[in-house]
Every structure is written in structure tokens, then in C-alpha cells.
């Protein structure tokens, strides 16, 4: 698991949703999606409760602070690249 890696949650309310890893501490990772889990309040999950992808989002912002809009943009870029915008881990609604 790496900082900036996009993962899909396997359990809980966010099951099937894409998040970006922003911190790693022991067996826990902290995830953000820019909406329900903003940068100021990341979601704490055990590593075994997420499905990692091979995609690492670039979180550089040309000198300004990282914002929730940047997180949403990176997740949407990934989703548009993977299988026509839908992944088998995403919720189908």
C-alpha cells in the first residue's frame, strides 16, 4: 500500500466506493474521497478491508495546498480509465 494509491472499500457503508490513501499507520490506512470523507476527516480502515488497485494518483498541486476537489478529480480520472468508467468493485445504482 502506498500514499496516493486508489483503493476500493470491501466492507462497511463505503463498500464498493473508490478512495485515495493519504496516510498509513501500522495496520490502518486513512482514506479520502473528497465528498463524504474529506481531507480534514479521513476514513480509518484496516488494510485487509480494502482492495488496492495498481493506480497511484499524482497528488502534486503546483505549490498550493491539496483540496477535496483535487481528490475528486483524481478519483474520476481513474474511474474513467478503468473499464469504461465502471469497476467491478463499484456500486451499481
Looking at residue 93, its pLDDT comes to 34
CATH 1.10.10.60 fits 5-85, yes or no: no
pTM of the model: 0.84
For the segment 48-69, what is each residue's pLDDT rounded down to a tens digit? Answer: 999 999 999 888 777 788 899 9
Looking at residue 83, its pLDDT comes to 64
Compute the distance between CA of residue 1 and CA of residue 61 in angstroms, rounded to an integer: 22
Contacts with 66 (C-beta within 8 Å, 6 or more apart), sequence order: 39, 59
For the chain, which residues make up each domain, given as ranges? Answer: 5-85
Amino acid at each position: 500500500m502506498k500514499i496516493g494509491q486508489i483503493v476500493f472499500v470491501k466492507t462497511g457503508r463505503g463498500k464498493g466506493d473508490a478512495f485515495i490513501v493519504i496516510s498509513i499507520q501500522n495496520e490502518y490506512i486513512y482514506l479520502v474521497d473528497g465528498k463524504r470523507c474529506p481531507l480534514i476527516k479521513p476514513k480509518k480502515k484496516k488494510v485487509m478491508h480494502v482492495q488496492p488497485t495498481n493506480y497511484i494518483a499524482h497528488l502534486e498541486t503546483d505549490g498550493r495546498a491539496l483540496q477535496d476537489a483535487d481528490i475528486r478529480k483524481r478519483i474520476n480520472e481513474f474511474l474513467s480509465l478503468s473499464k469504461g468508467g465502471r469497476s467491478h468493485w463499484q456500486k451499481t445504482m
